[in-house]
Amino acid sequence: MTASMPILSWVNHRIAPDICHSSRFAFLAALLLPLCLPWPQGGLLLVPVGLCLRWLGAERAGVYVCVGGLLAGYWGCLWADWQIPSECYRSEVAVAGQVVSFIRELPRPSGPPGQSFILELQGAVPGCGSPRRLAVFAAKDTPDRKTGNLLTLRGRLRPPPGQWSPGAIPEQARWLARGVHGRISVTDLQVVDAGVGPLSALRLRLAQGLAGLDGNRRSLGVLQALVLGEGGAIARTDWQRFRRLGISHAFVISGLHLGLVFIGSWWLNRRLFLCCCPLAAVHRDWAVVPAALLAFAYAALAGFSLPTQRALVMIVLAAVTRLLGWKTPGAHLLLVAALLIIATDYYAVLGSSFWLSVVATAVLLSVAALRAGPLSPINSNWLLKGLLIQLLLLLLMAPLNLFWFGQLSLAAIIANLVIVPLLSLLLIPLALLGTLITVLADAPDNAAWSMAQYAASWGLRGIEIVDRRVPDWAIIRSSLTAPANADDPVLAVLDVAQGLAVVMQHSDQVWVYDTGDAPLQGRTQAEKILLPYLRKRGVRAVSLQIISHPDRDHAGGLGIVADRLPIARRLGSGGESCRAGQVLYDRDQVTLTVLNGPGLDNSSSCVLMWRYGQFRLLLAGDIDAHRERELIQYWREQVQADVLVVAHHGSNTSTSRSFLKWVKPGAGIISSGLANRFGHPHPAVLGRLRERGVEIFNTALSGTVRVFPESESAEIIALRSGNIPYWLGLP
């Protein structure tokens, strides 16, 4: 009792007044609430609310609500300007702008690799909105270009991906948080100004220096990520391991890294000030200035990416308050910094990096600023301080990892315990020392970089070993979304962009039909959409996996799913052949029958009929009109279905009039990618479906579509329907 009293009084007098200050929270609420509204300018509705609050006597809170609402409304208007109207999808446009990222190589199935980079536009795209930044995809044979170059280019304009599925963070949130508002595939490109500016030139020099070093490419990729913020340099398999172990945040320059550099250099500077210049002891707070400058230089090396800008805001605030001698508690500082960031970079809150940065910087700054209170004895002991930072990082990062990445490995605790000290005490200091030597002496082949590369290579090896030995029980899955009643049958056509993945569930049975695409670069659709959906539904094993045919847009996630979940039985690619007439399941009113096989190519796709009582659903794979005719001749009335998962993503080679006449669907679900290059679904197919009065769902527009069958009919729910937050809508 007596021991807890000082803690309580400390919380009461130091922390509570700041956290509970109503006006700051009114501002935060007025900024964030409009993100839940269906109208972009919804924030303006809060202005009258603020005026009412003022009228009722809450003067300060009223002003804050007005200002917050106006700011949110302003950002909503900007968002509306950034949108690319649907009539501009895939139309050819000319744009001009500056390359603001490194050029990244994109492997292709055939021919030379392509390249991708981010272009900051100078002005609007005539008739197609005012996106500020575009992700550019170009063939390599167009003129050579570098970060900092001014370009003019022509190409096909596309919106950012709009994938949205239960259990996964919507793709729109990721792209908005990164500040990229569209994509363009280049047909013609000209470099207008090949000048790159001093900062870009320095970054290019360092990137070339690192790329020119001998040794393991994977560890050089890690160094490039830690020195220049170039996450794309890390191998895809390494990223997969980092994500599984919950340590990916450690390899993206963010609040954690800048905070570590700031705190480390601050600590060192104070020691230097004290021993080299005893008179300076009275001004030792000035040690914070070179520390903040070093953090600024590190952010510059990372190209002032958005996460580093946010971390800088917090560091500058911490430095200024320290210099002014304000006794500002960490919580207060954090809230003010978070408000500043949200007001100036509003959509940052939709990305994981904002939250991870805020928490990491807050922990580091709060512990570094410990001067009073019950934890003050820790102040003088750097080992205890280090342990406290680790403990707080673990405790606070765990829920964030669970929310943003859907799972947390218990191994993450051990991995973080090793990785964070390894990074802060060894890898980052060595990498930055090597960078300094390269900048000053133009000697990339220096000992510091060699040692850093050696350490990175050992670290990667350790991570590989730990990852291989993590047992399944050590994975905590997100319980933020409780699974629905597992006994009710449910079918979901997942929004896996251009491709197909369907999950059927009944009682303890889980059937997965196709696994979506696996692009040559980046995550597979199985990792992005299918596995998070299964996780959300509480699925721990797949009873039956059917791959309709081996095309990549259907079978791309085969290996990943098999890696993550036990699969009791496989049909199609990598399993038994589909045999027409085979009954795969027949129990509790549910029947699953194969209508077409063997599943070797489009026309021989495994076609399934799923029956629940009188309700019937037909999964048509990628069959063509010719095979549709054969199915009708063989199965006659038995092809009739209430819901048709339309063949071949709505291609005009399928879904013939005669097939629709026999199937008689009430609803048709098309799985296609937003503004895909094949032009799926074909307008003629949509016309034929409409002719028969079929209700059409397209995953590209609706997000994941779920079917909840009852014995005679079904309820079909599209994710993107009703009043959804405006930023999740499509033009």
- Partner residues linked to 119 by β-bridges: 99, 134
Tokens of 308: 């580093």
**Looking at beta carbons only, is 308 or 671 nearer to Zn ion?**
671
CB of residue 495 to Zn ion, shortest distance in Å: 15
Question: Applying CB under 5 A, which part among 190-198, 343-351, 551-559, 566-574 lies near Zn ion?
Answer: 551-559
**Looking at beta carbons only, is 435 or 603 nearer to Zn ion?**
603
CB of residue 334 to Zn ion, shortest distance in Å: 48
CB 369 within 8 A of CB 330: yes
CA distance 474 to 459: 21
* Whole-number CA gyration radius for the chain: 28
Question: Applying CB under 5 A, which part among 66-74, 550-558, 589-597, 663-671 lies near Zn ion?
Answer: 550-558
Which helix (H) or strand (E) is 93 found in, with range? strand 92-99
**Looking at beta carbons only, is 254 or 704 nearer to Zn ion?**
704
CB of residue 606 to Zn ion, shortest distance in Å: 13
**Is position 622 an interface residue for Zn ion (rule: CB under 5 A)?**
yes
CA distance 575 to 593: 17
**Looking at beta carbons only, is 519 or 566 nearer to Zn ion?**
519
CA distance 609 to 592: 6
**Looking at beta carbons only, is 43 or 161 nearer to Zn ion?**
161
**Looking at beta carbons only, is 351 or 673 nearer to Zn ion?**
673
Residue of 527, 553, 628, 642 that binds Zn ion (CB under 5 A): 553
CB of residue 624 to Zn ion, shortest distance in Å: 12
Question: Applying CB under 5 A, which part among 80-88, 275-283, 519-527, 617-625 lies near Zn ion?
Answer: 617-625
**Looking at beta carbons only, is 334 or 618 nearer to Zn ion?**
618
CB of residue 533 to Zn ion, shortest distance in Å: 19
Question: Applying CB under 5 A, which part among 72-80, 462-470, 553-561, 650-658 lies near Zn ion?
Answer: 553-561
150: Cβ contacts below 8 Å, ≥ 6 apart? 96, 97, 98, 191, 192, 193, 195
CB 118 within 8 A of CB 136: yes
Question: Applying CB under 5 A, which part among 123-131, 219-227, 477-485, 621-629 lies near Zn ion?
Answer: 621-629
**Looking at beta carbons only, is 352 or 671 nearer to Zn ion?**
671
Q: Is the peptide bond before 399 cis (omega within 30 degrees of 0)?
A: no
DSSP one-letter string for 618-677: EE-TT--HHHHHHHHHHHGGGG--SEEE-GGGG-TTS--HHHHHHH--SEEEE---TT-T
**Is position 517 an interface residue for Zn ion (rule: CB under 5 A)?**
no
Question: Applying CB under 5 A, which part among 31-39, 257-265, 452-460, 545-553 lies near Zn ion?
Answer: 545-553
CB of residue 400 to Zn ion, shortest distance in Å: 36
CB of residue 622 to Zn ion, shortest distance in Å: 4
Which residues, numbered 554-583, are part of the site for Zn ion (CB under 5 A)?
A: none
CA distance 542 to 568: 6
**Looking at beta carbons only, is 527 or 553 nearer to Zn ion?**
553
CB of residue 651 to Zn ion, shortest distance in Å: 8
CB of residue 550 to Zn ion, shortest distance in Å: 11
CB of residue 61 to Zn ion, shortest distance in Å: 55
Instruction: Classify 573 as helix, strand or coil.
Output: coil
CB of residue 493 to Zn ion, shortest distance in Å: 13
Interface size with Zn ion, residues (CB under 5 A): 2
CB 597 within 8 A of CB 606: yes
CB of residue 513 to Zn ion, shortest distance in Å: 12
Question: Applying CB under 5 A, which part among 128-136, 155-163, 614-622, 635-643 lies near Zn ion?
Answer: 614-622
Nearest by Cα to 80 from 27, 29, 124, 48: 124
CA distance 541 to 486: 13
**Looking at beta carbons only, is 238 or 622 nearer to Zn ion?**
622
Nearest by Cα to 571 from 531, 628, 621: 621
CB 424 within 8 A of CB 264: yes
Question: Applying CB under 5 A, which part among 21-29, 547-555, 637-645, 665-673 lies near Zn ion?
Answer: 547-555
CB of residue 547 to Zn ion, shortest distance in Å: 11
**Is position 495 an interface residue for Zn ion (rule: CB under 5 A)?**
no
CA distance 136 to 185: 6
Question: Applying CB under 5 A, which part among 48-56, 288-296, 622-630, 719-727 lies near Zn ion?
Answer: 622-630
**Looking at beta carbons only, is 527 or 622 nearer to Zn ion?**
622
CB of residue 523 to Zn ion, shortest distance in Å: 19
**Looking at beta carbons only, is 183 or 554 nearer to Zn ion?**
554
Biggest distance spanned by C-alpha atoms of the chain: 97
Question: Applying CB under 5 A, which part among 230-238, 283-291, 331-339, 615-623 lies near Zn ion?
Answer: 615-623
How many other C-beta atoms are found inside a 10 Å radius of the C-beta of residue 543? 20
**Looking at beta carbons only, is 238 or 553 nearer to Zn ion?**
553
CB 160 within 8 A of CB 182: yes
Burial-class residue 612 by CB neighbours within 10 Å (0-12, 13-18, 19+): buried
Which residues, numbered 692-721, are part of the site for Zn ion (CB under 5 A)?
A: none
**Looking at beta carbons only, is 467 or 551 nearer to Zn ion?**
551
- The tokens 């963010």 sit on which residue? 254
Which residues, numbered 285-324, are part of the site for Zn ion (CB under 5 A)?
A: none
CB of residue 101 to Zn ion, shortest distance in Å: 32
Q: How far apart are the first and last CA of the chain?
A: 60
Residue count of the chain = 731
In the 3-class helix/strand/coil scheme, how is 96-164 assigned residue by residue? EEEECCCCEEECCCCCCCEEEEEEEECCCCCCCCCCCEEEEEEECCCCCCCCCCEEEEEEEEECCCCCC
Burial-class residue 120 by CB neighbours within 10 Å (0-12, 13-18, 19+): middle
CB of residue 578 to Zn ion, shortest distance in Å: 16
Distance from chain centroid for Cα 629: 43
DSSP one-letter string for 505-563: EETTEEEEE------SSS--HIIIIIHHHHHHTT---EEEEEESS--HHHHTTHHHHHH
639: left (phi over 0), alpha (psi -120 to 50) or beta: alpha
**Looking at beta carbons only, is 178 or 554 nearer to Zn ion?**
554
**Looking at beta carbons only, is 21 or 552 nearer to Zn ion?**
552
CA distance 729 to 580: 41
- Partner residues linked to 513 by β-bridges: 502, 546
- Partner residues linked to 523 by β-bridges: none
CB of residue 551 to Zn ion, shortest distance in Å: 5
**Looking at beta carbons only, is 318 or 547 nearer to Zn ion?**
547
Binding stretches for Zn ion (CB under 5 A): 553, 622
